[in-house]
A = this chain, B = another copy of it.
Amino acid sequence: MELLKARWAEGKFVCVGLDSEYSKIPGHILKKNFSVANGLVEFNRAIVEATHDIVCAYKPNLAFYANHGAEGIDALWRTLHEIPAIGLGQVPVILDAKFGDIGNTNNGYAEFAFDYLHADAVTVHNYLGKEAMKPFIDRKDNGVIVLCRTSNPGAGEFQDLKHHGAKLYRVVARHIADEWNKNGNCAVVAGATYPEELAEIRQIVGNMPILIPGIGAQGGEVEKTVVAGQDKNGQGIIVNSSRGIIFASSGKDFAEAARRETQKLHDLINQFRKGGVL
Contact = CB atoms under 8 A, between A and B. Distances in A.
Interface of A: 19, 21, 61, 63-64, 66-71, 73-74, 77, 96, 98-103, 105-109, 111-112, 115-117, 125-132, 147, 150-159, 161-164, 168, 171-172, 175, 213, 218
A127 B147 contact: yes
A152 B131 contact: yes
Contact of A64 (B73, B108, B168): B108
A163 B74 CA distance: 44
Nearest to A179: B157
Given A98-B99, A101-B98, A161-B168, A116 B61 contact: no
A117 B67 CA distance: 9
B63 A112 contact: yes
A108 B63 contact: yes
Contact of A154 (B129, B147, B150, B152): B129
Contacts of A68: 116
A100 B125 contact: yes
A64 to B, nearest CB: 5
Contact of A158 (B67, B74, B102, B171): B171
A70 B77 contact: yes
Contact of A127 (B70, B153, B159): B159
B157 A168 contact: no
Contacts of A117: 69
Closest A-B pairs by Cβ, 7 of them: A131-B154, A63-B108, A129-B157, A129-B154, A67-B111, A70-B74, A67-B108
A75 to B, nearest CB: 9
A112 B66 contact: yes
27 contacts: A61-B108, A63-B101, A63-B112, A64-B108, A66-B112, A67-B109, A68-B116, A70-B73, A70-B77, A96-B101, A98-B125, A100-B100, A102-B150, A102-B151, A102-B218, A126-B158, A127-B147, A128-B147, A128-B150, A128-B154, A129-B155, A132-B150, A158-B171, A161-B161, A161-B163, A161-B168, A161-B171
A106 to B, nearest CB: 7
A130 B103 contact: no
A63 B150 CA distance: 24
Contacts of A105: 19, 61, 63-64
B70 A71 contact: yes
